[in-house]
A and B are shown apart, each in its own frame.
Chain A
Amino acid sequence: MTVVTTRDVNAPLVQPGYRAGLLDVFRRRYLLRLLVRKGIQQRYSGSFLGLLWSYVQPAVQFSVYFFVMGLILGMHKNVPNFPIHLFSGMVIVHYFTETFSQGTRSIVQNRQIVQKMSLPREMFPVSAMMVSAIHTFPQLLILWAGALITGWTPDPVGLLAGFLGIMIVAVFGTGLALIFSAGNVFFRDFQNIVSTFALFIRWTVPMIYPFSRLATSSLAGTWVYKVYLMNPISIAVLNVQRCFWSSTVKDVPNFNPDGFPSFPSHLILRGIIMLAVAVVFLGICQLVFSRFEGKLAERL
């Protein structure tokens, strides 16, 4: 036998694999970056229009709502600057549904890697969230341009509201993506649950209709109203509208940017509380995910 060289390994004797969850994801940013780049390339791989599909769908949806809700059902008359009101909601709902649905599929889609390589599995839902963010960003720019044309002016409260709205969706969406991506490994029903959910989420937030409709209806103050305001996506949409829409309509008579009935009372405070709740929710999702992570490779 040949003489074997001694190799000094400085590393400690540890249990293989990753145990720090999301912390490990952010410790390995280079890998995360590669996965995000891969996600962007892959989302529309093999399609001729490619990335343009990210805009075709929202554009079609927007036109439908614009004509049906705006013109036929008269929202243009009821809601000042209805297009920005609508689009603010659509952008944030789109970000949420993309994060949720792509995140849910992320581990199953990468099964070849999950089965054979050791890496923090949280990488996949987190990168799905980031890919969705990158797809959503240009829409946000279009929204901002539209708002600017129709009289948007920056105000600190509005900017804070916009930040809160986006962060709520990012954190809450990541939490859901974590749990559902693991669940989807065990039962593929989860991805169907998500698409069913995406069908009605846009009706449960004030984008196609104004919040004032709910606030002045017979439901105001009832449990329905309270549950409505417990929905993180509703709070996120309202905050983003506070950012982009409210300053474009501040000259409209009887419009009060920070209060009832265009927005619920204490909108910013609600946003801050909701973001805190979302962070706690993400922590719980991480705990649940860690419980199932050890079984993922064998169930795929």
Chain B
Amino acid sequence: MPESIVVDHASKRFTMRYHRTIKEITVATMRRQRLSDSFLAVNDVSFKIEQGESVGLMGLNGSGKSTLLKLISGVMRPDSGKVYTRGRIAGLIATGAGFHPQLSGRDNVFLNAAILGMSEAETKRKLDQIIDFADIGRFLDTPVGYYSSGMFARLGFAVAVHADSDIFLVDEVLAVGDRPFKKKCMARMKEVRDAGQTMVYVSHAAASVRNMCDRVLVLEKGVLGFDGDADAAIKYLKYDDDDEEEVGSEDMDEGMDVDEGLGADI
């Protein structure tokens, strides 16, 4: 199998600026406070994913999962090290698509599809399927700024999943969806996986990761802490203790909807 994603000693440093205006900077300098701090969101991470693999990406909040996905999708570039990918990339990063709030859902579908590399003809051909999958009814023609977070995620997922990408990234997107939609998404993601698309699946829900992925990467404060079998990864993370709910796309964790603070998503 050829490699689909190669991450080679990639690091990404973020700078936090505490003060932005002249006044704040002057005051802070006089008080000898720090003007900025930096930290490594992704710290010397290396791995290879082969075409057709579906890999879970787990880790606590702030461990660098979304940053790593942004490096893979090309939204950000590593400060050092290299990232390589093969083919078209689609997916959702940090609960939601790159939609413009002032445009209608329909216009956003076209724009989003074009950014993912779909032609006008391809988008038109798939438009009905996308609308059907998102199932947001008459809201399709209202600006997405007025959407509920669930509707926003539905439309974003619908476009991404129809992009026929070679690499599919899913990041916490299902956290805001309702139960029927989650079911539909899980079913669809299995199709994606079985069609041989490479999938990187970020989730805190051990059950769905176990169900979806054979291999799991665990990030800890930007460092790749574990790379291997899904069950072992879940044990490694100690996510297995209170996870009685057993697996299956039908078997959704009830508490998850309210538990958005944990970023949980099945």
Which residues of A are in contact with B by a Cβ distance under 8 Å? 1-7, 9, 11-18, 28, 30-31, 34-35, 38, 41-42, 45, 110, 112-119, 187, 294, 297-298
Contacts and interface: CB of A to CB of B under 8 A. Distances in A.
Contacts of A4: 52, 193-194, 196
A34 B114 contact: yes
A34 B99 CA distance: 13
Contacts of B218: none
Nearest to B166: A9
Nearest to A116: B98
Contact of B115 (A113, A187, A298): A113
Given A116-B97, A118-B75, A13 B85 contact: yes
Interface in B82-114: 82-89, 93-94, 96-103, 107, 110-112, 114
Contact of A15 (B70, B82, B88): B82
B261 interface: no
Given A12-B86, A17-B74, A38 B98 contact: no
B111 A16 contact: no
Given A9-B2, A9-B86, A115-B98, A17 B77 contact: yes
Q: Which of A1, A41, A45, A116 has the most CB of B within 10 A?
A: A116
B73 interface: yes
Contacts, number: 120
A45 B72 contact: no
Nearest to B145: A112
B166 A31 contact: no
Contact of B166 (A7, A15, A30, A297): A7
B234 to A, nearest CB: 17
Interface of A is mostly: loop
A11 B86 contact: yes
By size class, the interface of chain B is 35 or more
Q: Which 5 A-B pairs have the closest CB atoms?
A: A7-B196, A16-B74, A17-B74, A116-B98, A118-B74
B245 interface: no
Given A7-B52, A9-B87, A14-B86, A294 B76 contact: yes
Contacts of B214: 1
B120 A297 contact: no
A11 B96 CA distance: 27
A118 B116 CA distance: 8
Given A16-B72, A34-B114, A9 B103 contact: no
B119 to A, nearest CB: 6
Interface of B: 1-4, 6, 14, 20, 51-52, 70-77, 82-89, 93-94, 96-103, 107, 110-112, 114-116, 119-120, 166, 190, 193-197, 214
A16 B83 contact: yes
Contacts of A1: 214
A31 B114 CA distance: 5
Q: Which of A16, A41, A45, A117 has the most CB of B within 10 A?
A: A16
B83 A38 contact: no
A42 B71 CA distance: 30
Given A30-B119, A38-B111, A15 B83 contact: yes
Contact of B75 (A5, A13, A30, A115): A115
A97 B113 CA distance: 32
A13 B6 contact: yes
Contact of A116 (B85, B96, B111, B197): B96
A18 B73 CA distance: 11
5 contacts: A12-B86, A15-B77, A16-B84, A28-B114, A294-B77
B85 A16 contact: yes
A14 B72 CA distance: 11
Contacts of B102: 42, 45
Given A13-B6, A298-B14, A110 B100 contact: yes
Nearest to A117: B98
Contacts of B120: 30
Contacts of B72: 16
Nearest to A35: B111
Nearest to B92: A116
